[in-house]
Structure 1
Amino acid sequence: MATLDGQPVTPDDLLPLALTNLGHFTSMRVGADGRITGLALHLERLVRDCKTVWGADLDSVRVCDYVRQALDGHDGPCVIRVTIYDPTVDMGHPADADQPRVLVTRRPAGAMPPPPLRAMSVQYERDLPEVKHTGLFGALHARRAAQLKGFDDALFVGPDGHVSEGGTWNVGFINDQGVIWPKAPVLPGVTMALLQQHVDHQVSVVSLKQAKRMHVAFATNTSIGVRALSVIDDTPMATEHPVLSRLREAYMSIPGETL
């Protein structure tokens, strides 16, 4: 299912996005009751990123109308992705594109929580990390490299040796002091933000060496909730811990918001 400004999308509409990959998006998990966890934060992200990427104001009410349309008649959990891009964009003159439109797609939601994740460290930092943009080449290339080595995904480490985030997820850690989120250039993830509102935590620099000494490492995003990391490189990590259970319970207890 895909619509552009509420109308069926055509291949010609999608071609500029496919060829330039210039846009930004957010993915929202919709529960069986039709409510969306962190809806307000998702909308804030879209409005903020639209100003950054396109220099344009985004009507969040209109976005909600299109999402509501995509959910009409659909039962069961799903993931809605809202992508903001300009179908008139030209690779030679991207500054001329200033009329972003709203692409809405829907896919089935996976079970939560998913099984633990095996992560391989990769030196990489996303372009414009504060924006959830469609420029996924570097992240997916790192993920592919990790999978070819027998891992599930990549854990990004900066040139300074500090851990930042994962392929398409934020990473957090648990030690004797509690929950720690890395202080680094990362995407301000919605799931991470919600957990930070409900669970005591610290934000501090975490080196790769320190990460491997933590009691627990975990990934968070809208699609997976809170997912344990079972391995970082050749270092096994615990996948069960009372604080990890508390994080999962806290996230699942956050009431969804209606469109």
Structure 2
Amino acid sequence: MQQLDGAPAPATDLQQLALLGFGHFTTMRVEHGGVRGLSLHLDRLARDCRTVFDADLDRDRVRDLVSRAIADEPEPVLVRVTVFDTETALGAPGAPSRPRVLVTPRPATGPRPSALRVQTAAFMRDLPAVKHTGLFGALHARAEAQRAGWDDAVFADDRGRLSEGPTWNLGFAADGRIVWPEAEALAGVTAELLARTAAGTRAPVTRDDLAGMCAAFATNAGFGVRAISAIDDVAFDPDHPALAELERAYRAIPLEALAARR
């Protein structure tokens, strides 16, 4: 169940998050009592808490709060951990903060999701180094793409470089290697784990470069690796062997135990 600092979250304590949206978060998948890249998720929360609130975050306390919130949830479960201050004021977001931890579990997706068809959208995320709760621009791009008949959007910066999707990182397979787009984007935990285990390079990718790519894919903690079958009018093979290799590499990443050692 959803909990704020280990207790049921009253609506009054969630008003700041709903009205201002001033906070940051990470989302992780828990299975068999563990998380792929747990330490990276905790690093992100601690780093972003210092950036957003100029405050420290107790990593072991976060682990304990997540464990308690999902104690009665069937695994696998997706857990969003949101850090915000219920006392933040619109006119004084720089005042000393007392960040609180909201844990929101939901069932993980079941069957493997189908390949994505995505439309490019000119968009650059605010403060991309932080996984913050300001998702309006990203979700608006997704909404516009879906209204035009696509599954999702993929962002292009002011130099035409492809960067990421609204809630996922972007990658390509070309000439027997993985290519991660070089552009400002939110650094995803799943992409980072795969970059450590699968040989790849980082290079700028524009729409003009897509014809030279054999396959395209999205990554996030919810689905791992997901094929992209089209970016605008450029089609990709959703069953390319490189994607199966990536999926195997992802599944082989060890789970880190969620329960903190005592």
Q: TM-score surpassing 0.5?
A: yes
Letter in 1 for 2:16: P
On the 8 A contact 2:83/2:99 being kept in 1, the answer is yes
Structure 1 residues 176 and 112, CA gap change in structure 2 (3 angstroms): farther
SS of the residue corresponding to residue 132 of structure 2 reads coil
Which residue number in structure 2 is paired with residue 88 of structure 1?
A: 87
SS of the residue corresponding to residue 187 of structure 2 reads coil
Deviation of 1:177 (Å): 4.4
Unaligned runs of 5+ in 2: none
Letter in 1 for 2:13: D
TM-superposition CA deviations, 1:12-48 (whole Å, max 9, x none): 01111010011000000011x1211111110010001
Which residue number in structure 1 is paired with residue 114 of structure 2?
A: 115
In 2, the alpha carbon distance for the partners of 1:231 and 1:243 equals: 16
Q: Equivalences for 1:68-147 in 2 at 5 Å?
A: 68-111=67-110, 113-147=112-146
On the 8 A contact 2:120/2:155 being kept in 1, the answer is yes
In 1, the alpha carbon distance for the partners of 2:215 and 2:52 equals: 36
Letter in 2 for 1:29: R
TM-superposition CA deviations, 1:162-190 (whole Å, max 9, x none): 01111110000011141000111111100
- Range with greater deviation from structure 2 (89-98 or 138-147): 89-98
Structure 1 residues 112 and 195, CA gap change in structure 2 (3 angstroms): farther
In 2, the alpha carbon distance for the partners of 1:50 and 1:126 equals: 18
Deviation of 1:253 (Å): 1.1
In 2, the alpha carbon distance for the partners of 1:112 and 1:95 equals: 44
TM-superposition CA deviations, 1:180-204 (whole Å, max 9, x none): 0011111110000100110000001
Structure 1 residues 237 and 39, CA gap change in structure 2 (3 angstroms): same
Which residue number in structure 1 is paired with residue 19 of structure 2?
A: 19
On the 8 A contact 1:86/1:97 being kept in 2, the answer is no
In 1, the alpha carbon distance for the partners of 2:208 and 2:122 equals: 14
On the 8 A contact 2:210/2:234 being kept in 1, the answer is no
* Runs of 4+ displaced beyond 3 Å: none
Across the aligned residues of Structure 1 and Structure 2, the Cα RMSD in angstroms comes to 1.1
Q: Equivalences for 1:225-240 in 2 at 5 Å?
A: 225-240=224-239
Letter in 2 for 1:215: C
Which residue number in structure 2 is paired with residue 189 of structure 1?
A: 188
SS of the residue corresponding to residue 24 of structure 1 reads strand
- Range with greater deviation from structure 2 (92-101 or 179-188): 92-101
On the 8 A contact 1:125/1:157 being kept in 2, the answer is yes
Which residue number in structure 1 is paired with residue 174 of structure 2?
A: 175
User: Number of matched residues?
Assistant: 258
TM-score after normalising by structure 2: 0.96
Letter in 1 for 2:52: V
SS of the residue corresponding to residue 41 of structure 2 reads helix
On the 8 A contact 1:113/1:226 being kept in 2, the answer is no
In 1, the alpha carbon distance for the partners of 2:251 and 2:7 equals: 34
Pair 1:53-2:87 in alignment? no
In 2, the alpha carbon distance for the partners of 1:249 and 1:148 equals: 34
TM-superposition CA deviations, 1:41-60 (whole Å, max 9, x none): 10010001111111111000
SS of the residue corresponding to residue 80 of structure 1 reads strand
- Range with greater deviation from structure 2 (142-151 or 173-182): 173-182
SS of the residue corresponding to residue 257 of structure 2 reads coil
On the 8 A contact 1:112/1:224 being kept in 2, the answer is no
On the 8 A contact 2:2/2:104 being kept in 1, the answer is yes
Residue identity over aligned pairs, in percent, reads: 49
- Range with greater deviation from structure 2 (131-140 or 210-219): 210-219
Structure 1 residues 231 and 150, CA gap change in structure 2 (3 angstroms): same
Unaligned runs of 5+ in 1: none
In 1, the alpha carbon distance for the partners of 2:68 and 2:255 equals: 18
